[in-house]
Amino acid sequence: MESNGIAGKHGMEGDSDLQFLLTGGDLLKVRSSSWKKTRFYKLQEDCRTMWHESHKKLKSKQTCECYNRPPASFSIDDIEAVRVGRQSEGLQKYTEDQVENRCFSIIFKGRRKNLDLIASSEEEAKQWVTALEKIISNTRNLNRQQKTEHWIFNCMRKADKNSDSKMSLKELKHFLHQVNIEVDDDYAEMLFEKCDHSMSDYLEGAEIEKFYKMLTEREEIDVIYGQYATTGGQMSSTDLLNFLLKEQRESASLDDALKLIEKYEVDEAAKAKQHMTKDGFLMYLHQPEGMIFNPAHKEVYQDMSQPLNHYFISSSHNTYLMEDQLKGPSSTEAYIRALMKSCRCVELDCWDGSEGEPVIYHGYTLTSKILFKDVIKAIKEYAFKTSEYPVILSLENHCSVEQQKLMAQHMTSILGSTLLTMPLGDQMPTNFPSPEDLKGRFLIKGKRLNKLDAIYSAEGTIDDDSVSEDDEAADAEEEEAKKPKTKLKLAKELSDIVIYCKSVHFHGFEDARDNLAFYEMSSFKEGKAEKLAEESANAYIHHNVDKLSRIYPAGSRTDSSNYNPIPMWNAGCQIVALNFQTPSKEMDVNQGQFLPNGMSGYILKPTYLRDGASEFDPITLTKGDWLQHKVFHVMVISAQQLPKLKKKTKSIVDPLVRVEIYGVPADTTEKETQSISNNGFNPMWNEQFQFEVYVPELAMVRFVVEDYDSTSNNDLIGQYTLPFTSLQNGYRHVPLLTKNGDVIPSAGLFVHIMVLDAE
């Protein structure tokens, strides 16, 4: 297993940044004000693993038990981002201003702690950051086929115990276990003998290559390719067009087929003949064009000029928390993560801070506190990196008038012209502006002392500067402090910057219709919202045609678990706030809902949820435009390279696949395959399911792969959720995400999809 060109797989041969990482160097690792230690970091030859060791002088083998312990390492795949300067809380807390330019942080996916580092000079810090970002971006851009090769190569390297670049039968068995495939000894020997042409009891060079080819053989792809490759054993552009029209049900032209050959064919001779080989075909099936998610929906493709309340808006609750709401840490990092996932409404729970500066944390609990101004700075920095559409800052205000003035001051000075402090246009608005009108702007949601028209009249006076607390704050108080609802004095400075999202209490749909202005919005606790969505769905829909509604989880969810957002969306509620920090099925569905439309965090509601005369009711489902009855056929064919779950155990996964549909109650259902024992490498099911979908515009499809366990709950291997309307027909690969929503590099499902109009 010569490591030839493994760096080349990144397309980075001879790259100076790559050389810099492969050489490595010393960095100061920071854990606290007293714990700052030098560590040596370098990239391993596989170009996928960063390795580091301490500089402790090891005495003799006898005196140091940790002598043989391998140095720690982490995979490039585990890195979420690299941040320049003192951006992490650790660096802000434990280092001084003057090292700002020498600092950087490596932020990991999931709940792993950041790695805070200081280089010896500003140039060196820049070089580390540039080089790391380059290799992360290259790794992410490798296509699925290359990732598979990479992954298999790495497993081979690990299995080659004595590093002689040869593979014995024993090493081969170890390797098969590494790639999550349990084979009996006979099968392993048979594979080995087929490849061991030199009869040397070792595989090397071309023999290993042959073994790799046999291993990555995709029978199911061979069959499909064989059906359409009618031109001397290859697919001509016409054959490929036939496949696109018949199987993929695409409105394709010969020109489209030629473009795919040009883009993905790996064999130059075939490309010259405008043919596609089996390898090229497999390559195409692993690209966006061959994926289940419609590539046209990767961009913003919906009309963004409708009023703001005509969209579902990706929204987070208790955004400051990294874990649960009783004792989890509060962190600006939590805001960055939510915003980078294109969340467009974040929550700020504001309290008086001890040093005259307002702080954010979960009141009455042990969660840590962060400075309000630090949160606003982080939000300003990251709000529009993933999406340029407006961000709503939902304030839950418990502060004294003095500190409220400071809050208003911080927001106006830090956010500057991006903060909306006046309605758009020069006269009193009668409706919301659109996401397009509000690009790059921040809106404040909170209490306001008077009506918005006060801005335009001399009578903008205020009789009473106290307002009752937000519903959510009152809920928290009742539950945790058993206090009656209190009145809160509101600073005029803070009140004045609440423009389109004025918080008011909800006293029923009739009262809202008769007495509330369009910009006056209510927050509903999940239980109340569920009851309304079930018993008065149509009235709720009408309410949401004119106003905004925010839904939030019950205070009793101390573990920060999530409720099901679907019934709220079905009733037209826009701001359905979930705990982004808690991996859950509900969060998967939320990420799936906001996957299309360029991941902008805004999804245009279907017409019947935007029409004041709509008769749509998701529960009773009377006749109407919303009924577009489809028959949805799914064939679950196979999976590839499912990861092992418990790194430490010797167990191989027993995978099963479940297809779940979420939407109106009539559409909500699930079906699952048999489990396949001891094969996570290339399990085949070939099982067919059929579903009836009545309201496709509100339906979501979730593919779940689990490790079957007869004695306890199945473990999640990976999942992928997308809107029914973003599915592509035909033979498609389905990527798989971890419970934290990160892509599992080389794993996937292979399915056949057919959506037909019901007779």
Binding-site positions for Ca(2+) read 318, 347, 349, 396, 652, 654, 678, 707-709
Over the range 481-518, which residues count as b (16 or more CB within 10 Å of their CB) and which as e?
A: eeeeeeebebbebbbbbbbbbbbbebeeeeebeeebbb
| Cα angle for residues 295, 298, 303 (degrees, 5° grid) | 115
Share of the chain residues as helix, strand and coil, in percent rounded to the nearest 5? 35, 25, 40
Backbone φ/ψ region at 331: left (φ over 0), alpha (ψ -120 to 50), beta: beta
Q: What is the dihedral of CA 434, 437, 441, 442, to 10 degrees?
A: -30
The residue length of the chain stands at 759
Q: Which residues pair with 265 in a beta bridge?
A: none
Q: How large is the C-alpha radius of gyration of the chain?
A: 29
Instruction: Indicate which residue of 286, 297, 362, 543 is catalytic.
Output: 362
Q: What is the DSSP string of 8-56?
A: GGGT-TT-HHHHHHHH-EEEEEESSSS-EEEEEEEE-TTSSEEEEEE--
Q: Six-digit token pair at 644?
A: 């092992």
Of 683, 696, 682, 567, the closest CA to residue 625 belongs to 696
Residues 486 and 470 sit within 8 Å (Cβ to Cβ): no
Q: Six-digit token pair at 601?
A: 């965090």
Measured distance CA(304)–CA(106) in Å, rounded: 35
| DSSP three-state, residue 743 | strand
Alpha carbon 62 to chain centroid distance?
48
Q: Which residues pair with 749 in a beta bridge?
A: 639, 734
Alpha carbon 574 to chain centroid distance?
20
Residue numbers belonging to the annotated binding site for substrate: 29-56, 445, 447, 523, 550
Q: Name, in order, each residue with C-beta under 8 angstroms of 703's C-beta and a sequence gap of 6 or more.
A: 657, 658, 659, 660, 719, 720, 721, 734, 736, 749, 751
Of 738, 757, 722, the closest CA to residue 291 belongs to 722
**Does 505 qualify as catalytic in the annotation?**
no
Residues 188 and 176 sit within 8 Å (Cβ to Cβ): yes
**Does 310 qualify as catalytic in the annotation?**
no
Instruction: Indicate which residue of 10, 150, 286, 317 is catalytic.
Output: 317
Which active-site residues does the annotation give? 317, 362
